[in-house]
Structure 1
């Protein structure tokens, strides 16, 4: 088991750590501005990898249904856990909202996809694509509600979803598959080329963002919420995901991919929601850093474990 974990660490985590480290160094010593890169990621790289992956994905309708069911049921269970813990610990509303964001949303896009590709190959990436699309929709609707229930506006939330180019890329990919069509060879080649740049760019962005959120000030009154969030994301989240997967009778590569994606660190865009709606951004940003760092040890163990099942 130890040998398998070490092998996974070398084969999967080490390659991922190179662009993350490069981004962190650039952010720390060259003050790398991630805003233009985020625009590139959101409006160019993300739609390209979604279109490229979904258009070629070897995934059945049964996998799609099971993935969507898992995404929603897992979210429900995590939300219930976060709400119960918030009440038991008598957290203030901002910390309670921050704990909900920490517990429910994972970095499945700009960390999860490259990890799945390295760990499970193209088949794993195919299986992950539907989950990632579901997460994009959930974060921009339910995520907004979690961050600011009193300010939540259904119309604005839905509008924010359809402002994402990746959604249209997904729709185009599903239409092409439904009609039995393919992109012209020249276009498909160009899209694949852009998709190939996705992993190193978004991982470098993640590294630069980690350096920035690390400097965020954390007040003493959020310490309890911090340790609770860390426990939920690193320990309870994988167990809850495992329970949901068993309930839905999901097996094979889809089982492995969904378990890993549901066990990823706190989503970076959670701190964006926290800052916008006053949901204890210092708590969320600190959890982002520490769950990401811890994931370099936790995820190899999980990958080795699902690989031996």
Structure 2
């Protein structure tokens, strides 16, 4: 299957969501909450219930932390060079340090590697959500003079349904609790998660309004997110003792666009919302060009 035939169905679903929102003007927060608080937790529960925990989980965690902190460090250096304010620095962190591996990356891995790659993709999605709900919220609140970043991050962690789904799945696995006949119901809900979050992303992109673009900040965010991030990821994973497919998934995930959730955080805390929104929209569109290159190089040379 060619790279184009892999990406086209994904952007087709995004486009359906975009067009639907154009005419129906639905409340996307309702759909987003449905996916976040109901569908995705069941998907995560099933993954952690069925998958054995091994050392690869530790390497995935190290990779996520290493990539995120490396990008934050680069943003901090560039902010000093460009003389950005603290709010501008935090906005740039939101634009470049967090990947969209939920709405975008997980479906992409499903199309690329099939169900065999989904376990790794879902674990990365949970870890990314954990990072966004801690570091992401922290930097969003830190960029606003009216909020305490640490306290806001703690409150966000307590509301993370994905993590509870993972914990319950692990407990059911360790205690050998059978699902019995409700397993079919769990599968139905879990299988609905991917298409719903994809359509929701299309709707969210439609809701983004770009009034003015700071090209300096946008180009910096796009360069870090779409080009520098996969290079850093490759440097991290190539020395890790994990299988080839896992390495490829980790690098490809790093090249996904700016996470849609960071836009919501930026708006909520008034931390460069226009620039973060621009980065989310433009990086998603730009990934049509950059993602095929990353996929080709990764699957050819890794």
Q: Aligned partners of 1:271, 1:101: CA distance in 2, in Å? A: 8
Q: Aligned partners of 1:162, 1:38: CA distance in 2, in Å? A: 18
1:218 shift after superposition: 2.1
Please give the TM-score of this superposition, normalised by the length of structure 1.
0.91
Q: 1:191 maps to what in 2?
A: 186
Q: 2:264 maps to what in 1?
A: 272
1:249 shift after superposition: 4.3
Partner of residue 105 from structure 2, selected from 108, 112, 118 = 112
**TM-aligned CA distance change 1:229 to 1:43, over 3 Å:** same
Matches within 5 A, 1:144-293: 144-149=137-142, 151-184=147-180, 186-213=181-208, 215-218=209-212, 222-293=214-285
Partner of residue 139 from structure 1, selected from 132, 143, 147 = 132
Is residue 3 of structure 2 the alignment partner of residue 8 of structure 1? yes
Q: 1:21 maps to what in 2?
A: 15
Is residue 122 of structure 2 the alignment partner of residue 129 of structure 1? yes
Q: Aligned partners of 1:191, 1:154: CA distance in 2, in Å? A: 35
1:141 shift after superposition: 1.0
Runs of 4+ in 1 over 4 A off after TM superposition: none
**TM-aligned CA distance change 1:173 to 1:279, over 3 Å:** same
- Mind listing any 5+ residue stretches in structure 1 that lack a counterpart? none
Is residue 97 of structure 2 the alignment partner of residue 87 of structure 1? no
Q: Aligned partners of 1:237, 1:290: CA distance in 2, in Å? A: 16
| SS class of match (2:271) | coil
Task: Describe the superposition over 1:138-165 as per-residue Cα deviations: whole angstroms up to 9, x where unpaired.
Answer: 1111112222226335344223222122
1:237 shift after superposition: 0.8
Is residue 269 of structure 2 the alignment partner of residue 297 of structure 1? no
| SS class of match (1:243) | helix
- Mind listing any 5+ residue stretches in structure 2 that lack a counterpart? none
1:173 shift after superposition: 1.1
Matches within 5 A, 1:8-87: 8-10=3-5, 12-57=6-51, 60-87=53-80
